[in-house]
Amino acid sequence: MNQRSYFTHLDALESEAIHIMREVAAECTNPVLLFSGGKDSVVLLRLAEKAFRPSRFPFPLMHIDTGHNFPEVIEFRDYRAKELGERLIVRSMEDSIQRGRVVLRSGNQSRNPFQSITLLDAIEEFGFDACIGGARRDEEKARAKERIFSFRDEFGQWDPKNQRPELWSLYNTRTHPGENIRVFPISNWTELDIWEYIGREQLEIPSIYFAHEREVIVRDNGLLPISYLVQPKAGEHVQNMMVRFRTVGDMSCTCPVASHAKNVEEIIAETALTRITERGATRMDDQTSEASMELRKREGYF
């Protein structure tokens, strides 16, 4: 049998991502890998293992903690970093708020848009010149036009008009002091690819990705999980439902979907059949305007 026939689309995506990570390690002075505990960054960690073992990772891991994360995810984040024996840096929005760097209108509003401030502060604090992240082009149309090596100016801004042409796999990693590059090794992966890879590699992920019973309310056509951040308003009815999360972001605006998928195979079956994009189903902050993601990215969002 010809070995080539076993080189599947997942193998191709994996090899591309490994190549990208090694380019970062070789050419950037002080890179960091952004690890949130979410499924995309779990995949990034496996790819980093494949890129660098038997050596340690040539970069630390960092999480920007909004303070609105699901406790299961934070627990998983710490567990996974420890298991890998890699250094984890946590910078929290709570600190940015205390120091007056982030000013919120109310205590329980979504913190997703303000992560950029804490992230940019952390980049400055450590002098990172490259941040490896788990964003994918299929997530959203502003992402569809983003480079794998996405250049940001001194203010962390993404200028969609002024991106460097990216040809073959010859990545331009050069920056001036103060500038940095966001690197997205899984740019070409779709949600389904991520799940298939998690299944194939038997990766552990936080429990809230699987169907579980949870108190939710229906608000603005989506389900919202009840927590200290989200309480029912008058007329809203709390229900106990079997749900799972497709993304694990800010608890105040990350919506679960009704599901009975208890394992990765069942999630893959549901994902292949699903009729709503991942962000459309689960992120209320992306629905505020057609261009919300684009605007946040221009301000330095991940």
Partner 1 sequence: MSVVENVGLEHAELLRFITAGSVDDGKSTLIGRLLHDSKSIFEDQLNAIAKTSNKRGMEKVDLSLLTDGLQAEREQGITIDVAYRYFTTPKRKFIIADTPGHEQYTRNMVTGASTANLAIILIDARKGVLTQSRRHAYLASLVGIPHLVVAINKMDLVGYSEDVFNQIRTEFSAFLQGLGSRSVEYIPMSALVGDMVVERGDNLGWYSGQPLLDYLETIDIKQDVNTHDFRFPVQWVSRPQTEAMHDFRGYMGRIESGSVHVGDTVTVLPSGLTSRVKEILFYNGTLETAFAPQSVTLTIEDHLDISRGDMLVNGGEPPRVTREFDAMLCWLSEQSFDPGRKYIVKHTTHMIKGLIARIDYRVDINTMNHEVVDALTMNDIARIGIKVQQPLVIDAYTQNRGTGCFILIDEVSNNTVAAGMIC
Residues 124-183 contacting partner 1, CB under 8 A: 137-138, 141-142, 144-145, 160-161, 163-170, 172, 174-176
| Interaction of residue 87 with partner 1, rule CB under 8 A | no
Q: Does 294 bind partner 1 (CB under 8 A)?
A: yes
Tokens (6 digits) for 90:
């946590």
What SS3 class is residue 174?
A: coil
What tokens were used for 285?
Answer: 């902050």
The reply to whether 277 sits near partner 1 by the rule CB under 8 A is yes
- Closest distance between partner 1 and the C-beta of residue 102, in Å? 25
Q: State the nearest-atom distance from the C-beta of 231 to partner 1, in Å.
A: 27
Q: Which is nearer to partner 1, 203 or 268 (CB)?
A: 268
Helices and strands: H and E segment counts in the chain:
10, 10
User: What residues from 247 to 276 belong to the interface with partner 1 (CB under 8 A)?
Assistant: 265, 268-269, 272-276
| 1 sits near partner 1 (criterion: CB under 8 A) | no
Q: Are strands 88-92 and 130-132 parallel, antiparallel or unpaired?
A: unpaired
Min dist CB 202 to partner 1, Å, is: 13
The CA-CA-CA angle for residues 253, 255, 259, to 5°, reads 170
4 forms part of the interface with partner 1 (CB under 8 A): yes
Shortest Å, Cβ 174 to partner 1 = 4
Closest CA to 41 of 136, 114, 116: 136
d(CA 190, CA 194): 6
- Ordered DSSP codes for 239-271: EEEEEE-SS---TTTBPPEE----SHHHHHHHH
The pattern of x and - marking residues 194 through 213 that bind partner 1 according to CB under 8 A reads: --x---x-------------
51 binds partner 1 (CB under 8 A): yes
